Structure 1
Amino acid sequence: MPENNLTGVKEFFLLGFKGSENVRMFLFCLLLMVYNVTISGNLLIITLVSTSKNLHTPMYFFISQLSITDILLSTDIVPNLLHILLNNGTIITFIGCMAQLYFFCIAEASESLLLTVMSYDRYVAICKPLHYVSIMTGTLCVKLVITFWLLSFLILFIYILNISSGLKFCGSNIIDHLFCDLVPLQDIACSDTFPIKLQIYLLSIPLVGIPSLIIIISYINIVRAVLQIQSNVSRQKAFSTCSSHLTVVLVFYMSLLSVYTVPKSGETSNINKFLSLLYTVFTPLINPIIYSFRNRDIKKAIQEIIPKYL
């Protein structure tokens, strides 16, 4: 374990999970399996959307982008976590820590913005079906995706630069967490963290607050429109088109809230680590399962593509 540097910390020591070797080996095997399934499942969706003409629609285009964010998030967190489990902790440089935090934030911000765009897509499809094709054009979808990716990369790059220069580490360099998250970094910082916390709140408005509000408003209008449908069959069909997206939204936001509202110290340390696993490791696994098992078009595309490679 590296020693503390009183003049400035140049590297950190990630503790990971505290437990016996058997427990760590079990988690290693579990997370390795989950990671492989996650990457395979999301790559499958990206391939299906790219090759199947039946899936060349705005909704599936956005789903493929969601798969990209899932791959980015999993690849940013899991490989290093597997190394931590094998070695009962690991050293990560300051730059490496900031890079991991940067791509983690990009994945989370991009998914939040993407889920917002997808909710608007469902709103237009149900509330304005006659104008759907003219509103949700291919050009608009591409522009929306490019915009939220660029916003995420640029805004968060400036944000991470502020963190790297604003937080000073002159004492402990031990991070009692699974990866370089902002909260455990603030816990070991010896400088004033108020400016960084203020930036977090300000940044959460356009990346989390406003998207959440748009999603809520979209679904209020969707529910109103669906309840006005006279036919029970048509009503159920309309709800079914939103069920997968709404499930992903709930999993995403509830997992984030569970992590950042539970106390971060004392006996709840391991609880927070397991909650962190929920949205960094298991949510990217759940998303493709929700969209593939609950979607007839995806199932049909899988049935069409399998014979081509057999």
Structure 2
Amino acid sequence: MPQRLTQTTTASRTTDSDPYPSLAQTILLISTKAYFTPSHTLSYLKSILDPSNGILPQLESASPSNESPQSLQLALLPDFLTIYPCAELLAQRSKSPEPSSWPLVLGAQQCFWEPGPGPYTGEIVPSSLSSLGCTIVELGHAERRRYFSETDETTARKATAVCACGMVPLICIGEVSAPESNGPMSMSIGNALREIGQQVRGVLEAVPKDAPIIWAYEPVWAIGAESPAEVEYVGPVVQGIRMMVDKVPGRTGETRIVYGGSAGPGLWGRGSLSDLVDGIFLGRFAHEVSAVKEVVDEVVDTMKTKKGRS
């Protein structure tokens, strides 16, 4: 039988001296959104964990067990119904309830804005997610804003609650307006950074300065599109986001910026995206295990090439 996870078995991963999990240099994230049934999610995870599919061996080759911090992490954000059984599978696979020993990072797609527990009927509190071994919580996605009226303020409150439970907030940011087809690129980039700035500043003002943050830059206009934003556009926007974070006095928390928005195979090496961001938030393309393998291969090959040049 899979090992059952409890608050007691996983609480040791967050201590006063080391309250947050470390982040790899490069992070690949997959959200199943609400596309999968629970059985499909578990089958999908088992396929990723199956060494014969070639994903785990590639991850292990990129991040040897004695390497700290890791070079590459793959994170799965399933729906709430399957976080618990996914945690059981990962604990069984690694023979440990400790999330830092799991072959994949486990995350959640959103949470409530109070750490919990408490009288919050129907909500999922961060403390419960932490007790199951989640280390990343996605917040502020454009779909949450569109369908559930979430705002910069609620995103910042949720980020604070996530940090209070020793997890890493994965903050989705991005402009709604697409670049002007006839105007100068610089004007479109400036407009994007004005939209994004409010989202970034709200979170930075709310969370502890030593809290790690993953920023998922997802141009809203590119989500679900046939192709991602051009690298020539993404690069300056990402640079602008880094500058916003760097300007915060006293901030010591780790920062990673990943790109999302119709992201899939072939993107990492195209136009040197790997030189601009710290990973990819994969879209619907990653719902096929073969596509996950393609992306992992592409990222690992790029890392080995760069290492060979150094």
TM-score relative to the length of structure 2: 0.28
Higher-Rg structure is: 1
Which structure shows the bigger proportion of residues in helix conformation? 1
Query: TM-score with structure 1 length normalisation?
Result: 0.28
